[in-house]
Homo-oligomer: A and B are copies of this chain.
């Protein structure tokens, strides 16, 4: 267990191929970064068995919690030897899931497991997570670094858990969504953390390397594939201060097709293909792999990382507020009665 205080116990011993010294060195490297995320809510308890956070100022608090991993995006990082952005990936992915319920992300914990603990790699990931937490006002209160040579070989997994809170009345459950409401899409930064098994296979089959480039990318494929998952916390906070948000969806595995209906309280949506900008990485994958559009839509976010549903009359004002936060956003479609499905017009 690694704690708010910064200790690493790898839970094993040199003789069996597990290095306690390496764990302790990783801990020293990341301690300062982790502590920099601790606002007044964190109760310091060096060596404590769990991270402590004081919740104050809520009348009817509801806790929203989620756990997720970055998936096979780690294999891209591994091949390029660049791990730090995985920290932002997992923090932002988890924070967006919490955000989509109407809660504000408060606390994050990381779990990094590998066959061989390279202190600089783990410290890079955790420091990256700490930086992402700091940007969102989230406290990184604990984590675990596990070294398991027999289980992971040379592989690595990066997992996170995030907890948020809101007043009961601030939950966004989709029950206020009505046919005719506007669906707004917020721009993703690229692949985020989904579809990497397919995205990697397409490259391999086409013989395209991470050092290669592709028209429109403006950088190497490797750099594009490692672009961190974007968080929408500030954008949604700014929006909700002025506009009633009736539904929110984090567009992850399953794409718009599977994730948007989760925000619609049983209704469906009709989206206008081409009403948002699709980043060039998706065209590259579509062309290289000859992937049918149906599958593209079920695997990738295609440029929309997060959706909000607002009353039709509010769409223009909502877009203006989102643009004011520096985020590209588009009016991509409408809520319709076709229960639970997404159509493309």
Contact = CB atoms under 8 A, between A and B. Distances in A.
Q: For the side of the interface on A, what is the size category?
A: 35 or more
A197 interface: yes
Contacts of A299: 12-13
Interface string A125-152: 0000000000000000111101011111
Given A50-B100, A113-B157, A17 B148 contact: no
A60 B51 contact: no
A67 B11 contact: no
A252 B159 contact: no
Interface stretch (A71-79, A234-242, A325-333): A71-79
Copies in the complex: 2
Interface string A149-193: 111110111010111100010010100000000000000000000
A198 interface: yes
A13 B298 CA distance: 9
A84 to B, nearest CB: 19
Given A11-B253, A98-B50, A65 B151 contact: no
A68 to B, nearest CB: 5
B144 A68 contact: yes
B72 A51 contact: no
A47 B110 CA distance: 24
Contacts of A161: 65, 67, 109, 161
Contacts of A58: 55
Interface of A: 1, 9-13, 15-18, 43, 45, 47-56, 58, 60-69, 71-72, 74-75, 96-98, 100-101, 103, 107, 109-111, 113, 141-144, 146, 148-153, 155-157, 159, 161-164, 168, 171, 173, 194-195, 197-198, 200-201, 248-250, 252-254, 258, 261-262, 295, 298-299
